[in-house]
Structure 1
Amino acid sequence: MSDRRRRKSLTIFRPEISALTPINEPPDSAPAGGLLKKRRPTTLFSSSPTSSPTSSDMPPSSPASPLTPIKRTDSQSSLRGLLPKSRPRSLQKQKPGRPSSIFGSFRNSLYSSQEEDNPLARTTSKQDSVHSTGSAAALNYGGSILEHGEIQTSGGLFKKKNQYFVLTDTHLVRFKSQERAFEVFPSIPSSLGRSSGMRHSRISSSGSLNELHTASSGESHHAIQLHDIISVCRLDDGKPYFSIEINHMDEETNYVGAITLQLYDPLEYNVWTSSIRGAVIKARLNDPQPFSQNLIQHTARVLEREHDYHPNSFHLFKVIKRSSKSAIRSSSEDLTKVHSTICILAFGIHKMHLVPFPRSSRNASNTSLSDMNAVSNGILAVTNLKMHETDDAFSITCRVPFRQSTTLYLASSLVSDIALTIRNGIDFLKPLWGESSMTWEVTSAVENGVWTIEPPEDPIAGYDRTLTAYCAAYNVDPSNIQYTVHDDCDDAPVFELLQPADNGRTRYSALELLAIMRSLRYNESFSTLSFRNVSLDVLHNLRDHYGTDHVPLTTKSGIPMNIPDEENATLLVQEIRALAVKCRRLRRLDVSYCLTRRFQQQDETAQDPGCGICEALFPLCAKQWTNIDWIILNGIVLTDVDIDYIFSAAIDKSCHFRALDVGYCGLVDRSMHTILQAMFHQEATMESINLSGNLARQEPKEIENQLGHMEFIRKVNLSHINRISSPEPLIPANMLTKWKLVDLRLSRTALNEQSVEALMMYLMDDKSEHLRILLLDQCRLTSTEASFLLNAISQKPGRARKMHLDLSENRLEQHHEALVDAIERSCSPVRLTMQMMEYKNEKNFQKLIEAFSKNTTTKSLDISKLSLPIDAGDDTCKILNRLFTENRTIEEIDISGEHTHIEAAQYGNGLNHALAGLKRNRTLQVLRVEHQKLGLQGASTLASVLEENTTLREIHCENNEINLQAFTVLVNGLERNTTVLYLSSMEFDRAWTQKKVDREIDNIRENPVPSPVTRMSSSTKATVNRTLGRTLGRTIGSRKVFSPRNNHENHSPKNSYTDTDFQAAMGSLSQNWDREVARLNGYLDRNYNLAHGLAPDGQPLLDIDRPETSESLATAIRGYNIDDKTPTAEVNRQLVVGDKDTQEKEYDVEEKEVSAEDNAYESEGDALVMGKH
């Protein structure tokens, strides 16, 4: 080659042409003298950061593949560790009676400086300089001879001839005879004596037709450059000789060939294999060759098609794809198949791709799709990598769930670099895994070259990296997976899996769940894993029969588990068990409502295998192989099998369970009794009990006997239980004071007078000071009982108690004065919820609002879903206005309504006047006013509030029949507000508006020519027809057209508008709404930056950019571009021949009529909201 540049096989960047990044760095100068040290190329997976060809501080442009610094475990790297070791001296001695070997010794090949004593030996490995003669130098065949020998080859049927092979440090040369070799290499003897009993080795060529023609056409020799050799493999074809296959390719000339050496002596077989492999490695180090730009572009396009390309993760290797493990190929094989076996092994961000080599007659610009059919496998799908010390062959086994494993049999002289790229790639994509997930069968030199991947500073980023890689390996979309990490739990941080991002899906697929769970293995960043309300049904009773590489057989400490029949367990059991034993920090697991299982009948329980989660967790807890001690099973129907697993583990006090939540698990009397007995053995550690919503009947005495001895209970949930009728309290006061309660939930459980009295005594005791949540909704309490509890909560009137009290759906209108008095005296806690109150007398509600106006302790008030006999009157709205104006304590209020098919709970139109009181409010931060039908007038009121209020932070106002005009008014009001950080984007109202416009269009289609009565009763429909007619019939471009109604003689009752016009209207509505959402987000971002002291992003939004408001379909169509549409006014127009001036006069009259109608229709909205703007 005329241009010999340094070849980099591991660090590949795209060329600059076609927006690609350069692939090669400038060639480095060769070291002067001494042993050549291997300079490992810089890659994302297997290189040192100090040798990167790009800037070391260059940030990665792909978030999925950040450039994390990689450090080597062994910084000393030399050529000796990668090159094959020389054969021991004892193997080179000749056996008695055997003639001299025709092959040179390998002991003088790479590192030995000794020379043979006998210069007349048949074969020599003496590294003589050939530059003195000038012949070899002229041909540029290298400076030293490593091996040479005369070999008998088969040139065809019944034809044999002798050929002479010479291996130098740059070429493998084949001569017709030894004399020809002597002419080029004078250090080789011109003739050597030969023993008559000598047994010859044989070399037969199975290369390309071009190569065979060259060798038989009279030329004296044929040379192969060592850096063109792709692989050197040993073939096991069952023949009585040893075969070595050498595959080579000249990328510049697209010359492809393969020769097979057939030898009878195993010692010579080892010598030639080792010599050629070592010479190829050394030649690549001394004279690396760059990949061609066409090849780089071809491969990069394949990776881009798979969405797996990034310059910093782009690595190329030339490999030989073998058809089987033995890679048998004889000399008589069809030579046209040789080309198809040469491929490019390319590594992207998350996958490796076996790309067919492009045809020589094509370049990268016209590569067909057939040439780009690559075999792609995820890097995390690799389960086994096996290489050999004696040749360049290796195999990669990949497997994805529910499929058989596939093995790629490959060969490459860069097998060590390929193995390191795969291993370092897996370690980089799984930085939190403590052990390798694949079988690693490599040489010791490669094992020592594995880099140590430093864990990322952000553990969440590390999990996201692993999750994305697993999704790529399993061919699922990672953008559909949603999760959050928060600290709203005692065992924080919490990983909580959310519902799929795709609104059309309610469940994750099996592959998505496997990617999520396997990414969480070995993750020590989370103390709690929550799959609450995420369906895991797809993994229940599902098995993977094609492999066991995913099955955990040991704990994280390396203790063999030896669980019977573990390999045949369901995937749900295997994955839950793997999370439990591989995550030491994991303390809490929440799988509430993850399985949909019906209640089993008595005759069906014997055949039910259980939910699987109990089978996975509780045996591990019994053997203390996991640190999970807080298990939440709410909403999962448990059978006798599950109860047995729980009981077997819980009776062992060494398990140290802190919580066992079995709410709504379908427990009957027998199973509930078993659970209570199991909890009794954990009395020293239990902190939480949830027995809510089960079928079993609870007896107060049994609850006291089984749970009364637990002194560390902090959370108790006895909601919605079936209590046996008795005069005794559900939980005695002495039992409540013994506990250190923080959370007590008795929702939907009927409380008798004794239970209320016990609660009151407990709340008055100092031991209840840690109680933060008390839920008493639907407990049949009266206002008198509620007032007793409020008085007990407030030991000192006027002093706020940090507690959330829920009194929703109780009979609070009875003896209402007592409740009002307690609230007015500020006996209520900091947070009070009173949802779904039913008032038959509106005055009682007015008294309650007046009491809250004087209250000074409640900061969060929820009086949503209120039910009044009729809409709130003027007096009630004035009192609400006074509440917003006078109260100086409430920071969050919820006055949302409710709209169902059965009934609706709303305040009515008077609420708009009440909301006006927020202009003078200086304490409220969160306002929730949903399902109240605010409409345009309510939006105008909120807009005026936003312009004056400086304390509001969040406004939740969805489902208020806010159309585009009202939404625009609301966004305009936010323009001058710099404190609001959240305002609803009105997606539900947007859908409501679109449905309303659809109904308008249907009405127009059904009644294209409405009668005058219809116009008067339906102003919206008239506006739609009027505006469509004006928009489509007034002006088209710069050309005037005339209304079809001027042609009375030719008027047709046919619909005046086409579907194109209606599509234009819907498109205009959608575009305008998107524009308003963009403005809303811009204002909210501005306020967020101001609240956190950040510089504003982008240009400030000016008043001139504010759009006009639009109320309905009619106004929306005006701004829509219809130049490219075919208006109906031209489709249906039948112009009569007449005076042009007359037509223009009629048009002007019509224009005035339309303008007058529009002004009359829009005057009301403009007067309300557009006066100030």
Structure 2
Amino acid sequence: MSQVSSASETDVTSSYSTRRRSTLSKIRPPDFAKQDLARQLSKASSDYTEVASSSTRPTTPSGGGSRGTSLSDKAATVLKSGPLKEESSVLKNKKEYLVLTPAGLFKFRNRLAAIEQFPQVAVPTSAVEALSPVETIASFQEIGAKAEAHIPLERIVSIFKDEGTKPCFGLEVWWKESCAAGFFANIELNFSHPGDRDDWLKQIQYAVRQKTKALAADDSIPSELELDLACILEAKYPHQSAHLDIFPVVPRRPFGRLRSNNGEIKKGWRENSSFYMAFSKNICFLAHFTRSPTGQKVNPSIVQYGLVTISKVNAHTHDERFDLVFRLPLDTPRKLELSSRHHRNIVSRLFKSDTYLKPAWPLSTRREIFLVEGDSHQMPLPSGEDYGGFKRTLEAFLEGYHSVSVQWKVNWRNVKYAPEFQLLPSTDTPKYTAYQLLAVFRALRFNDFFKSLSFRGVDFSALSNVFDNSCRMEPTVWLSRTGKRSLTRDEFEVVEKSSVLFQEVIAMLLGSESIRHADFTAVLPKAPVVPTPGSSPTVHQGCEVVPPVVLLIRSLQSRCKSIILNGNYIGHVDVSEIHQTLQSQPNYLRGLGLSRCQLDEMSMITLWEGIHEQRQSLEHLELSSNFGCLEASRVSQTLWDTSNLRRLDLSSCLKGIIDGPLFRPWTTSPYEDPWSLEEVDLSGWKINFDTVSSFVRYLEVDESSCLRHLKLNSCGISGEVATAIFCRIGSGRDIHLYLNSNPLETGSTDWVDLIHGNEAPKRLHLDMIEFKHESNFDKLLTALADNNTIELLSLVGTGPPGRASPKTSSLFSAFLEKNRTLRYLDFSGYSGKLEDAHLGWGLSGALGGLKSNKTLRQLRIRNHDMGAAEDITELCRVIAQNQGLAMLDMQNNNFDHHQFSKVIHALELNRQIISFPISSSDRDHVLAKEKQAFSKSLKKSLKGSLGKSDSARLNSMLEWLRGHWDSEVKKAEDILQRNRDDYLNQALELDTEFLSSWDDAQLPSWLSRKPSGRDTTRARDSMISMSSTSSMLNENPSSPMLSTHKRSFSGRGFAVASEPAIHVYTVEEEESSTNPSPGIVGAARTGSPVEISHNDQLWMRKRTR
């Protein structure tokens, strides 16, 4: 009994000579020459070895027939024959007969029909000797014509056991009707006994393999459907066409849309169809081609699955059936039950793809996915390029999860543990989706390249309180990559039942054995609100990042001992867990950040008790800007023993008065390790004299040379104390000193004289200093004009007590003209006191000194109401003629649209400025002002209603104004782009801290960060920020590309860094140095002015021309 879904016409020569290969690693274009499509007759071969079946024997002597390999000889050679299961009917019984030859499989109406074509079939079934062909037998074409079904072996797609519900033992045979077209036909062969079925299955599969081997040496031509599929996929995924492999498959169960709306299987869902599985670099496609009743092919329906979403592969080496289970996180599994004679190649392709796309993942993870009986896979060593395989893994996960790219970079400088992976906040959308975050987390899983992870400012709320345990098939990570670190059974069960975010944090920090530091700043800033079942109140949960971190600290199985949780909501339960963990594991943590976590005073006290137990190991502690404060006496008891401390931030955290210093960061004992503070922030606490003396004493010892930031804002520091600090800092020390909002005019102004005498640091913040006497402010401007040590200066909100006099404006202009050291100046007004702007309209003229200044690179002058001046000609001259500025920020100065147009025109004449931020608030101010003026002209209040004509006039005027403003903004953008494209400007090189202080999201990517002597941690620059799914990046990045243009302005100004070419990462390496550059420090410490080099002068002359 058999059922044929589609019969094929016999074309022996065409079918036999057709060549088929198991994989199509490269698809020919559809317009290849017609002669390439011509079928080639098979060559004579002596490699065929006919195998006699137990059911046939020769009817002629073996010597009477040729053993040649002609078509007729092959057709006459019978490998096996036998009856199918008898089919009973009302009229008569039908017992069909099956014959297998080295060239094809034949089904006849009965045994007599088979004997007519194959006389060998008439012999007793006990003969086992080799058969010889009969000379009088009909040709192969005649045989196919007289058989009910003829299946050329080279066209067989798959043969497998029937999985239907009929009480019989059957086989399904699928083959291509025509190699040129590629559509499938199938037949069901039913046997009376399972042994017969299994024997026939083995014999047919063996014959197909022998036929495939015989044809392997010849070229094969893809079918039309395969070519169509290749064209479709290459058009959609052009960057992955080189990785395209196509296999014909047979689905054993419906998938995707093949089911009806009610979920039942559609009738005849495989008729007039063909199915192909294609693999690109990151995606697996399953294409379903159908044929219309008129015989025309219909566009295929294609289902795609990410290769990294494969959850289970069930297969057997001797069974063509195999099952694939794909699953997206937070979704239900998708199962494909398939069959193909290429099943081994398909499983091997999946395994190799998993290995290639996730090279850092250990072999144990693949053993849980690939359940292949009778076969074993070798695990190749992961390659070392693209950050230990991170880039390709991230790209594969993003494409597999149908997500757009994320923005990230690799930091080498200014990080304690380099290299550091940093995920940047999304710029295209308010936050990343759950799938984007999961793609990043899983790409980082088991990665041993990075030493630090930073998610600063990235919103994790898409994964907040998300669980995926009901349908999850992926195993829970409880082992590290090498298996050296693991969770206990109890810990594993906790992770197994936890949220997705909990599990991913565990997988990242436990799976990788290289992570030392993790920054989760502001990932969950708000308290999550979870509805309570059956009640209206809500329950505020804590930060979901805290529980996995606590579990890992308790387990002692993670090498990550520095955790930053700043800016997150930390609940009382979290505080209790952290407190207990820190007390149970003394001296374990090296870094802890809990600033801006909305902690009340009781929570602060509880946390400090745990921090006290970590005092001897802590190197980094942040606990600033919380709701509660700590008594300074309590903090002092802990800080006296924190000799390993490097960074301390207790701003807005301390209260009370203590006897003696808060801590003494120096020692006179040779048996104690010296302190090596790098950053100290005690802002907001009225510092006592003993603590100041302790700092002053520390600044005198050699160990203080590593101190980079000293923040004493709003600490009640008088002029006398400031003078003592300036004296100890000395001339040109590479330190950033913050003295904002202190009464520095009280007691003494000798610190101003020290600035005049170059006894000042390189970076100085004097914001919000309210001078009571204009003479003292004028004295400061005079000192700054002659100073040659300060490179970064901030005077935000600092100025004379009233509106500036002409003398003050003149001194400010002289300061800008004479100073040759300053690189960064922020002289913005305080936005809350705009009506009392210190220089106001006079600032436009006071900036005249900039016309001859060629060393200042960054200038910010916000909130000075310069628009109040009717004439801004001098300001426009400065912008047009200045030859040093690269970045200028003049936002919130209330320019009207006429003044704004003049400023943009002046900007057009400047060919060096590459950053000119423009805020929408400036345009809004102009529109609001125009509304007010229009209403005033009508003598009506803004709140009153306007008539139709007046309203139309106002709207028309505002629309024109808005369009005019936007056109000017567009013009400014074009000017900036012109300047950025100028290769001379691409030499700009700024200090990392200067760039970090500049607020402009449109800064060009080629902008280089200046190597600084104060960078003692790493000597390699940050990598470029890149799109993770940028398909244009080379899979094997070449060696670091050095810049082809090099210019240096005495190490301070511009230095070329050419834009990296496609396919290449730019990594500029330099020797690590623990001391500042001799040229820079020498000039600074000796007090001599920084001279412009010969190269600078040449560059300036070129610019002047």
Distance apart, 1:876 and its partner CA: 2.1
Matches within 5 A, 1:1152-1163: none
Matches within 5 A, 1:936-1015: 944=877, 949-960=882-893, 965-966=901-902, 968-975=904-911, 977=912, 982-984=914-916, 986-988=917-919, 992-993=922-923, 996=926
Whether 1:500 and 2:410 are equivalent positions in the alignment is no
Distance apart, 1:423 and its partner CA: 2.1
Hey, what's the Cα distance between the residues in 1 that align with 2:953 and 2:206? 81
Query: For the structure 1 residues 1097 and 790, does the alpha-carbon distance in structure 2 shift closer, same or farther, using more than 3 Å as the test?
Result: closer
> Match for 1:614 among 546, 565, 569?
546
Matches within 5 A, 1:700-719: 700-719=632-651
**Is 2:18–2:39's contact at 8 Å kept on the other side of the alignment?**
yes
Specify the code of the residue in structure 2 equivalent to 1:10.
Answer: T
Matches within 5 A, 1:566-965: 566-597=495-526, 610-651=542-583, 656-667=588-599, 671-695=603-627, 697-732=629-664, 739-794=675-730, 799-815=731-747, 817-866=749-798, 868-900=800-832, 905=837, 907-932=839-864, 944=877, 949-960=882-893, 965=901
Whose Rg is larger? 1
Query: For the structure 1 residues 1000 and 678, does the alpha-carbon distance in structure 2 shift closer, same or farther, using more than 3 Å as the test?
Result: closer
2:481 alignment partner in structure 1: 556
**Is 1:130–1:143's contact at 8 Å kept on the other side of the alignment?**
no
Whether 1:291 and 2:222 are equivalent positions in the alignment is yes
Deviates more, 1:430-439 or 1:167-176: 430-439
**Is 2:817–2:853's contact at 8 Å kept on the other side of the alignment?**
yes
> Match for 1:175 among 79, 100, 108?
108
1:208 alignment partner in structure 2: none
Distance apart, 1:433 and its partner CA: 2.5
2:249 alignment partner in structure 1: 319
Distance apart, 1:663 and its partner CA: 2.8
* More relative contact order, 1 or 2 (CA 8 Å, 6+ apart): 2
SS at match of 2:727: helix
Specify the code of the residue in structure 1 equivalent to 2:735.
Answer: M
Specify the code of the residue in structure 2 equivalent to 1:709.
Answer: D
> Match for 1:411 among 339, 355, 371?
339
**Is 1:486–1:493's contact at 8 Å kept on the other side of the alignment?**
yes
> Match for 1:546 among 457, 468, 471?
471
1:82 alignment partner in structure 2: none
Whether 1:527 and 2:455 are equivalent positions in the alignment is no
Superposition RMSD in Å: 4.9
Specify the code of the residue in structure 2 equivalent to 1:775.
Answer: K
Hey, what's the Cα distance between the residues in 2 that align with 1:630 and 1:1097? 34
Specify the code of the residue in structure 2 equivalent to 1:803.
Answer: I
Whether 1:422 and 2:350 are equivalent positions in the alignment is yes
Hey, what's the Cα distance between the residues in 2 that align with 1:292 and 1:934? 74
Distance apart, 1:582 and its partner CA: 0.9
Deviations 1:56-83 (A, max 9, x none): xxxxxxxxxxxxxxxxxxxxxxxxxxxx
Deviates more, 1:243-252 or 1:170-179: 170-179
Specify the code of the residue in structure 2 equivalent to 1:226.
Answer: L
2:98 alignment partner in structure 1: 165
Whether 1:223 and 2:150 are equivalent positions in the alignment is yes
Distance apart, 1:651 and its partner CA: 4.0
Query: For the structure 1 residues 135 and 655, does the alpha-carbon distance in structure 2 shift closer, same or farther, using more than 3 Å as the test?
Result: same
1:434 alignment partner in structure 2: 362
SS at match of 1:836: coil
> Match for 2:188 among 255, 260, 269?
260
Hey, what's the Cα distance between the residues in 1 that align with 2:976 and 2:625? 44
SS at match of 1:337: coil
1:359 alignment partner in structure 2: 291
Distance apart, 1:897 and its partner CA: 3.2
Deviations 1:695-751 (A, max 9, x none): 555344433333322321222222112422345443357689963211111111221
Distance apart, 1:650 and its partner CA: 3.2
2:304 alignment partner in structure 1: 376
**Is 1:13–1:23's contact at 8 Å kept on the other side of the alignment?**
no
> Match for 2:440 among 506, 516, 519?
516
Distance apart, 1:424 and its partner CA: 2.0
Distance apart, 1:272 and its partner CA: 1.5
Where does structure 1 lack aligned partners over 5 or more consecutive residues? 36-109, 196-213, 1015-1051, 1099-1171
Where does structure 2 lack aligned partners over 5 or more consecutive residues? 1-10, 128-140, 260-264, 530-536, 941-947, 989-1042, 1047-1055, 1059-1103
SS at match of 2:507: helix
Distance apart, 1:859 and its partner CA: 1.8
Hey, what's the Cα distance between the residues in 2 that align with 1:723 and 1:430? 52
1:402 alignment partner in structure 2: 330
**Is 2:104–2:151's contact at 8 Å kept on the other side of the alignment?**
yes
2:996 alignment partner in structure 1: none
Hey, what's the Cα distance between the residues in 1 that align with 2:30 and 2:36? 14
> Match for 1:310 among 229, 237, 240?
240
**Is 1:692–1:720's contact at 8 Å kept on the other side of the alignment?**
yes
Specify the code of the residue in structure 1 equivalent to 2:496.
Answer: E
Query: For the structure 1 residues 669 and 334, does the alpha-carbon distance in structure 2 shift closer, same or farther, using more than 3 Å as the test?
Result: closer
SS at match of 1:458: helix
> Match for 1:147 among 80, 86, 97?
80
Hey, what's the Cα distance between the residues in 2 that align with 1:551 and 1:491? 28
Hey, what's the Cα distance between the residues in 2 that align with 1:706 and 1:25? 84
SS at match of 2:908: helix
**Is 2:386–2:392's contact at 8 Å kept on the other side of the alignment?**
no
Query: For the structure 1 residues 488 and 968, does the alpha-carbon distance in structure 2 shift closer, same or farther, using more than 3 Å as the test?
Result: same
Hey, what's the Cα distance between the residues in 2 that align with 1:22 and 1:743? 75
**Is 1:130–1:137's contact at 8 Å kept on the other side of the alignment?**
no
| Normalised TM-score (structure 2) | 0.74
Distance apart, 1:191 and its partner CA: 4.7
Matches within 5 A, 1:39-58: none
Hey, what's the Cα distance between the residues in 2 that align with 1:26 and 1:713? 79
Hey, what's the Cα distance between the residues in 2 that align with 1:359 and 1:1072? 59
**Is 2:274–2:288's contact at 8 Å kept on the other side of the alignment?**
yes
Distance apart, 1:587 and its partner CA: 0.3
**Is 1:868–1:905's contact at 8 Å kept on the other side of the alignment?**
no
Query: For the structure 1 residues 995 and 124, does the alpha-carbon distance in structure 2 shift closer, same or farther, using more than 3 Å as the test?
Result: farther
2:23 alignment partner in structure 1: 10
Specify the code of the residue in structure 2 equivalent to 1:235.
Answer: D
1:472 alignment partner in structure 2: 399
**Is 2:183–2:273's contact at 8 Å kept on the other side of the alignment?**
no
**Is 1:243–1:263's contact at 8 Å kept on the other side of the alignment?**
yes
SS at match of 2:496: helix
Distance apart, 1:848 and its partner CA: 0.9
1:491 alignment partner in structure 2: 417
Distance apart, 1:831 and its partner CA: 0.8
**Is 1:302–1:374's contact at 8 Å kept on the other side of the alignment?**
no
Deviations 1:394-441 (A, max 9, x none): 111111222221211111121112212222222232233234655334
Deviates more, 1:576-585 or 1:661-670: 661-670
Distance apart, 1:890 and its partner CA: 1.9
